Structure 1
């Protein structure tokens, strides 16, 4: 891989750099970089940078388009050319996630006219699923993908607030100034979909829509359910076609059940194969126990990959003789009593507990861990949310997400299922109410716990037969399956894949601290044929491949700097 050029965008400077940049989209002679809110203002403004790449050796920042305060993009930013009776030109579609403490924040999706990249015009802001119509703000959406089918244009979104029940939202955007929600579906509508991976967490994370053999198909990355294919010939009535199965045990390290975490995927250019990425920030398998009380026993759990490793604790064990209920642990006022939930977390000094328990939702996992630290705890437990249990269908499912903001980390933290979160406090499990209303009072003491970990590798890449969805091969960078790289080297998980638009045997991977990787694929499997890691390190989130002046370039978005442009120089 040859580095052609890199551009540090204007906002990624000083203390704003870590994690400021998210995905990248390339269209024509311009690249668009999604920008998260600035670290100096947790509810500040997100948006996107427009970069002129007509001369790939000298990319130039053109502008920054700001979102409403407290709104920020993430994955799946995309530009397509649209030609309908209502609109002709190029549109950029992007998701909106919300910092709920910002009253002006919007959810849903937003659409911008980028026909003239020097004069970007907003067409629709914050359009999406308003549930029963009483909401004034649409649900958070994590990703969006648009496509034109005949004379109509559509967009698929991943609904953060309806995980596993209605989390595939489909909008008609034939008139991009007036998007209309036309369908919702999810695993709740797919009785034949199998969930056999560690954690049993299911949600629509990402997707690609493509016309294959005369049919519009959606390739849905559905976390522990793997990859699901929907027929979208009638987008208002999507129908389930098939889903993949993770081999058990795993090919690379032999763990059972397999890790799961189907994060993103694309068909190869010839539609013969599917390349899917598993995002896994925690390279260990966690054994968790409730150690006393009526619910003593073993339950599912995971370790957050960015907190103090359990393997470094005394006895290599996360141990608490007493737990305490801490609510949401967010800076926001999720319980609606006029006080920040963080300010209400019962302190270690007042309770004598060794670990505080929070419920997932409202804010980043890292905000909850920080709240625990501020209250004096060096051990934090985050229980699964109601919505992610699919109303109790996956009562023991757990999910340890990534670090959402920068702070000094001094605590160890694990994630557990919703059921055991109740059982810790001798409370009957409940899965339907939207928040923590069914939990005991703040400060209620719970049972003791213990947890140990075993190295099971970082996130990997899967090659599937596109017709049968049978797994052909499983690939990881060598450091990703080496216990020596458990900590201290950044995140060594894969994030996204971009299939080469011309060569059906090539694809490009954004691998966080593992850099940009090039793989060759075929019926024989996956082989790495190229890579780039900067001497000072990288943190790649997005990757795209596109032609500029008849030459193929690979574009990577580095979370801490901006746009990096490469050429693949291999065979």
Structure 2
């Protein structure tokens, strides 16, 4: 199901979001490029950064104006072999809920959520673990809301589902649980979402979900992994939480005035906050290289694009052009005057990529995978090859349907004499493709962008170097390039609509042009402060290690992840900064000032952060990927 939008000029001020504009003519549905594992947009699934082991893998412990009140190592994360088990969190009343993803020893592992009693914040207690269907796991945006509708009264937990293993039980979409009694949790709806007009038996993967009630009706917004840039904003009605109904889909494909200014032109709906401001329901969407997008959601079945933000060019901190982009998550401040947005960037380097021979020689947009052998560590600090070769998907599955694993069909380095193997994005983890290249004898791999993520050609040079999806010994270097560049490597006219991925490319084993790539340090992910009325950027902030090349490797991920604004104060916000720990910032018309921080002596790896009132005080809750729940108090003025 898909509804068209009216596009307002990008320069329109926020007041236009409140005009109650109706919908335009319907837009026909776009087929989904269904792929259980192809997106893996932004969240690292590494074998671990040793956040809690030894003296390397994290920055030194530090503390200022932040008191650690209590912590809980959940049962599933106990032991050194399970880093990365915990994802996001939700806090409601006397209870917290921790999303759980894979175990380190298994690319999928057990997905679900822990329920934690936080009534005594000094001594949080694990109550239970609620398992997801086998092969499914949660990610971003877990949330509890209180519903009062004609069909349900009580508290519900909403969570996303992503498929991490091809099992009969695996589900996509969203799930809803009755948590009115957290000691007796009841599933209401499992795996509900976009089934592409009923053509699928399993809903599309959803990376995040946010629910709200407007009057007598309730809704949830989701980010569709499988329809990146084309239909990736899914809106469900959950007035009856046991029977969610998809009522709208939209995306940047419906917003011709949306500007894409980030490095790489990668666009997808990643996260969102929906809030009633001055009598109107507004959606604040984090749309990666398009920045932050405002939608009018007074009629959720017909969302209206209003405007989007612009990344200053060159960027403020290190002066790079184009700016990094990577709008990951954001929240309005308590008084709705400002927006604090996070830019998640796991690769602290910028890639310069060239096709060095043939008719299409020249410079093209590209990135470097942050979990492969760094280009900066190669001889001459250069990724270089005189010949490339087309290798297909590189997946273990038989994507081309000829009865043989695509991995087994990758032409070997010995048989081709090529230096670099080229794969298409889609169907399997990026890491599976790199491993396929290694098994075929290559130490250099290129992955080209998929059709869907290229926006049917609108973003022909968009690239995305995704995260590692399974553990293996990495010996190769790898870069990602746009779909257009992938075709041009082989002197082939670019196409953007063929299915399956790779079917529009030359025959397996086709030899392509030479390539060369080098990198320059451009910093880790940062924090943006916007004026909520004009969406003009006021300030850009990073922890000091995030802009220091000394900390490019060996200290874990020093990018920001999420932000939570204070529920009472209008000038405070809290940041989960992965290996950079918990940070407290003060925001206002003069910019951003760090006023508090906490990094444990053994290191931290914070994914989620929430601020909530408990027993008359405001507490900060952080989910550490390697351990569980940490509870803090800000002690500054």
Task: Give 3-state SS (helix, strand or coil) of 1:547's partner.
Answer: strand
Task: Give 3-state SS (helix, strand or coil) of 1:92's partner.
Answer: strand
Task: Give 3-state SS (helix, strand or coil) of 2:76's partner.
Answer: coil
Q: Distance in 2 between matches of 1:334 and 1:144?
A: 30
Q: Does 1:550 align with 2:616?
A: yes
Task: Give 3-state SS (helix, strand or coil) of 1:144's partner.
Answer: strand
Q: Distance in 1 between matches of 2:83 and 2:402?
A: 33
* Corresponding residue of 2:561: 495
Any residues of structure 2 matched to 1:200-279 within 5 Å, and which?
Answer: 200-279=265-344
* Corresponding residue of 2:102: 37
Tell me the alpha carbon deviations over residues 273-325 of structure 1, each in whole angstroms, 9 at most, x when there is no partner.
00000011111111100111221111000111222211111111001122222
* Corresponding residue of 2:441: 376
Any residues of structure 2 matched to 1:311-322 within 5 Å, and which?
Answer: 311-322=376-387
Q: CA deviation at 1:330?
A: 2.8
CA contact (8 A) 1:18 1:406 kept: no
Q: Distance in 2 between matches of 1:45 and 1:245?
A: 40
Q: CA deviation at 1:20?
A: 1.4
Tell me the alpha carbon deviations over residues 372-425 of structure 1, each in whole angstroms, 9 at most, x when there is no partner.
223322212111111011100000111122333333322211110011111112
* Corresponding residue of 2:42: none
Q: Distance in 2 between matches of 1:371 and 1:500?
A: 47
Q: Distance in 1 between matches of 2:80 and 2:592?
A: 39
Q: 1:345 to 1:13 in 2, by over 3 A?
A: farther
Q: CA deviation at 1:100?
A: 5.0
CA contact (8 A) 1:108 1:140 kept: yes
Q: Which moved more, 1:208-217 or 1:97-106?
A: 97-106
Q: 1:9 to 1:389 in 2, by over 3 A?
A: same
* 545, 549, 558: which one aligns with 1:479: 545
Q: 1:566 to 1:340 in 2, by over 3 A?
A: farther
Q: CA deviation at 1:107?
A: 0.7
CA contact (8 A) 2:105 2:471 kept: no
Q: Distance in 2 between matches of 1:107 and 1:29?
A: 29
Q: Distance in 2 between matches of 1:17 and 1:100?
A: 18
Q: Does 1:410 align with 2:475?
A: yes
Task: Give 3-state SS (helix, strand or coil) of 2:457's partner.
Answer: coil
Q: Does 1:519 align with 2:585?
A: yes
CA contact (8 A) 2:107 2:471 kept: no
* Corresponding residue of 2:632: 566
* Corresponding residue of 1:11: 76
Q: Distance in 2 between matches of 1:331 and 1:32?
A: 35
Any residues of structure 2 matched to 1:115-130 within 5 Å, and which?
Answer: 115-130=180-195
* 450, 460, 468: which one aligns with 1:385: 450
Q: Distance in 2 between matches of 1:104 and 1:536?
A: 38
Q: Does 1:324 align with 2:411?
A: no
Q: Does 1:354 align with 2:419?
A: yes
Task: Give 3-state SS (helix, strand or coil) of 1:420's partner.
Answer: helix
Q: Could you state the TM-score of these two structures normalised by the residue count of structure 1?
A: 0.97
Q: Distance in 2 between matches of 1:512 and 1:112?
A: 28
Q: CA RMSD in A?
A: 1.4
Q: Does 1:133 align with 2:198?
A: yes
Q: 1:338 to 1:34 in 2, by over 3 A?
A: farther
CA contact (8 A) 2:87 2:607 kept: yes
- The number of equivalent residue pairs is 571
Any residues of structure 2 matched to 1:171-190 within 5 Å, and which?
Answer: 171-190=236-255
Q: CA deviation at 1:365?
A: 2.2
* Corresponding residue of 1:307: 372
Q: Distance in 1 between matches of 2:402 and 2:253?
A: 34
Q: Does 1:443 align with 2:500?
A: no
Tell me the alpha carbon deviations over residues 545-564 of structure 1, each in whole angstroms, 9 at most, x when there is no partner.
11221121111111122111
Q: Which moved more, 1:266-275 or 1:405-414?
A: 405-414
* Corresponding residue of 2:162: 97
Q: CA deviation at 1:89?
A: 0.9
Q: Which moved more, 1:333-342 or 1:444-453?
A: 333-342
Q: CA deviation at 1:14?
A: 3.9
Q: Distance in 2 between matches of 1:340 and 1:532?
A: 48
Tell me the alpha carbon deviations over residues 185-215 of structure 1, each in whole angstroms, 9 at most, x when there is no partner.
1111111111112101111000000000000
Q: Does 1:20 align with 2:85?
A: yes
* Corresponding residue of 1:532: 598
Q: Distance in 2 between matches of 1:363 and 1:559?
A: 24
Q: Does 1:296 align with 2:361?
A: yes
* 142, 146, 166: which one aligns with 1:81: 146
CA contact (8 A) 1:320 1:450 kept: yes
Using CA pairs under 8 Å that are at least 6 residues apart, name the structure with larger relative contact order, 1 or 2: 2
Deviation >4 Å, runs of 4+: none
Q: CA deviation at 1:338?
A: 4.4
Unaligned runs of 5+ in 1: none
Tell me the alpha carbon deviations over residues 502-561 of structure 1, each in whole angstroms, 9 at most, x when there is no partner.
111000001111111000000000000011111121111111111221121111111122
